[in-house]
Homo-oligomer: A and B are copies of this chain.
Amino acid sequence: MPADQRPATLHDVARLARVSVATASKALNGRKHVSAASRAEVLKAAEVLAYSPNTLARGLVAGRTGMVGLLTSDLEGRLSIPILMGAEDAFGADRTSVLLCDARGDAVREGHHLRTLLSRRVDGLIVVGARPDPRPSIGRDLPVPVVYAYAPSADPDDLSLVTDNVTAGRTAIRHLVEVGRRRIAHITGDPSYGAAQDRARGALDELAEHGLKLAGDRVMFGAWSEAWGRSATGMLLTQRTAVDAIFAGSDQIARGVLDALHGAGLEVPRDVAVLGFDNWEIFTTSSTPPLSSIDMNLETLGRVAAERLMAAFDGRLGSGVEQLPCRLVPRESTTAR
């Protein structure tokens, strides 16, 4: 049901207020050199006409559009949405809008979206990868600053924001030790993921500092699936490995772990504590018991990406990989005994 009257322009406001467009512009933008009387006139006229400034036209002259592009390959939106929200917060939703483009893992489509975004003269770009491993740079000499989030760019000259997986691994183990566990196993996902390796390394380092070693002796790499969590746990149990805690590489794996433990008649956290990763609410709060997990602070990632972009708008952009800390979210699956 659109009212087919075209929106009021600054000209309309100026005419109604009996001033020039210049005065009207100044008045609406709160600038000096305008009398209180005219200012009031203009404001009233704008009110009457429901004037809404054309941001496009403003951007044309300002050289800034107030838009940033969010180029993602994450089909589920599980990463993009929190990052988007963090960025929205940092920018201020009224000054900057986000153009979200989903490349669906297709490089051609990504190039297409990139061209479109540049032709829309976005002020900056945030690139969100689907998995936390280096990805091809979208290009060196782009006319706007680019920040890579979650998945770093393969080009070290780009600026990338990633989660600090090594420290996250340490945090996980420290927590389990603090709640009195000593025989800790680590069941994680696809070993080709750098994140899996990093978390495992952090875990091993922290264990060593406590004079402990991994229950079952080695990190159990597999797949990022519930099924793997189940079968890996099954292996642990049939081998009669002494275990009082399992650090899972993802919440989905943790779900499988819980399943297998329950199936074996073990109680969580009394017999075995379980710690997940991702803090994906649909998994952590609905499991029994509610699952402790490590949150990657994706909103923060988005917020920092926005801040780096804003800093780049005046001045130059940094480069390299910036590690952002994770956060432990304790729930019942890892309470002290």
Contacts and interface: CB of A to CB of B under 8 A. Distances in A.
Interface size class of A (residues with CB under 8 A): 35 or more
Contacts of A76: 77-78, 81, 282
Contacts of A88: 101-102
Nearest to A81: B77
A164 interface: no
Interface in A256-290: 282, 286-288
A121 B3 contact: no
Interface stretch (A107-115, A196-204, A207-215, A326-334): A107-115
Interface string A287-300: 11000000000000
Contacts of A131: none
B312 A2 contact: yes
A102 B84 contact: yes
B77 A286 contact: no
A337 interface: no
Given A93-B116, A97-B101, A113-B93, A1 B317 contact: yes
28 contacts: A1-B157, A1-B158, A1-B317, A1-B319, A3-B143, A5-B143, A6-B63, A6-B143, A52-B118, A52-B119, A54-B60, A55-B116, A55-B121, A56-B60, A57-B60, A70-B100, A76-B77, A76-B282, A77-B80, A81-B102, A84-B102, A93-B101, A93-B112, A93-B116, A97-B101, A100-B100, A227-B286, A252-B286
A127 to B, nearest CB: 14
Given A1-B140, A3-B142, A56-B59, A97 B117 contact: yes
Interface of A: 1-3, 5-7, 52-57, 59-60, 63, 65, 67, 70, 75-78, 80-81, 84-85, 88, 93-94, 97-102, 104, 109, 112-113, 115-121, 140-146, 157-158, 225-227, 252, 255, 282, 286-288, 312, 316-317, 319
A84 B80 CA distance: 13
Contacts of A93: 101, 109, 112-113, 116
Contact of A81 (B75, B99, B109, B119): B75
B84 A100 contact: yes
Say how many copies of this protein the assembly contains: 2
A12 to B, nearest CB: 14
A319 B121 CA distance: 35
A63 B4 CA distance: 13
B286 A226 contact: yes
| 8 A-B pairs closest in CB distance | A77-B77, A77-B81, A100-B100, A3-B141, A226-B286, A55-B120, A52-B119, A55-B119
Contacts of A81: 75-77, 80-81, 102
Given A75-B85, A85-B102, A227-B288, 12 more contacts: A2-B317, A6-B143, A53-B119, A55-B121, A56-B56, A56-B60, A56-B65, A56-B121, A94-B112, A94-B115, A97-B120, A226-B286
